[in-house]
Amino acid sequence: MKIRSRRFENEPRIMVIPMIDIMFFLLVFFMLSTLHMVEQKMLPLNLPQAETGAAGELDAIPIMVYEDGTIAIGTDKVSAEGLSGKLREALSRNAESRFIIRADKQTMYGRVVYVMDSLKQLGVTRLTIAVEPGSP
């Protein structure tokens, strides 16, 4: 007759599957929080709403036009005269650059047209205007 020791039967085991689940949860959490932080680098705007609004492109170069008429490319504020130079600089790095205009809904229409005209003069064909999804 074989006598078993209870000490060896109740030995704790390391469960690997719950640890893998926790690691995936942490990975997803940090990925989503990082994506949220990227959006926070831009100053807040009141975008107009449109029913056909879609998710923005992450690789697009943002051009912000604020309510008071100031223009910024990314986080750098640009004067109206210096806009073409900054746009040329961005196009020299990548001729197929995408641009997204994020204009406040209270911005004067002429300022947005000025930015669009500057882009067209430089030959930009990939242009998007940012809106908030929903009905106006």
- In order, the DSSP letters of 35-84 are HHHHHTTSPP--PPEETT--PPPTTSEEEEE-TTS-EEETTEEE-TTTHH
Pairing of strands 61-65, 99-103: parallel
Contact indicator for 101, 127 with CB cutoff of 8 Å = yes
What global pTM score does this model have? 0.56
Q: Is 69 left (phi over 0), alpha (psi -120 to 50) or beta?
A: left
Q: Is 56 left (phi over 0), alpha (psi -120 to 50) or beta?
A: beta
Residue 42 confidence (pLDDT): 53
Residue 50 confidence (pLDDT): 61
pLDDT along the chain (136 residues), means of 10: 62 84 94 71 58 59 87 84 85 83 86 89 84 68
- For the chain, the domains span 6-39, 49-133
Residue 100: CB partners within 8 Å, gap ≥ 6? 56, 57, 60, 61, 62, 63, 127, 128, 129, 130
Residue 23 confidence (pLDDT): 95
Residue 43 confidence (pLDDT): 56
**Options 3.30.420.270, 3.40.640.10, 3.30.70.120, 3.40.30.10; which CATH number does 49-133 get?**
3.30.420.270
